């Protein structure tokens, strides 16, 4: 198994953003099938499960708008 870093993560780390900040609210998605050729490629196979820090329902952050 190879370890691939996406372009977005590489750019965040090179811009002196700490790994903890870059990976906040990250989730781990497990798929069937073979691994993509790079971290930026679309996933292949069927999504089996999603792991998150809260271990509950996954709700993405929504930026508020208003004045």
Q: Give Cβ neighbours of residue 35 (< 8 Å, ≥ 6 apart).
A: 1, 2, 4
Q: How much is the pTM?
A: 0.60
pLDDT digits 0-9 by tens, 26-48: 788 888 988 888 888 888 889 99
Q: CA 51 to CA 53: how far, in whole Å?
A: 7
> Do residues 39 and 3 touch, judged by C-beta distance below 8 A?
no
Residue 54: the pLDDT is 67
> Do residues 29 and 53 touch, judged by C-beta distance below 8 A?
no
Higher pLDDT, 17 or 7: 7
């Amino acid at each position: 198994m190879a370890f691939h870093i996406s372009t977005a993560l590489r750019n965040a780390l090179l811009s002196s953003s700490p790994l903890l900040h870059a990976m906040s609210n990250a989730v781990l998605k497990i798929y069937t099938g073979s691994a993509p050729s790079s971290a930026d490629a679309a996933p292949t196979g069927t999504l089996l499960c999603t792991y998150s820090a809260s271990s509950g329902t996954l709700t993405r952050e929504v930026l508020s708008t208003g004045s």
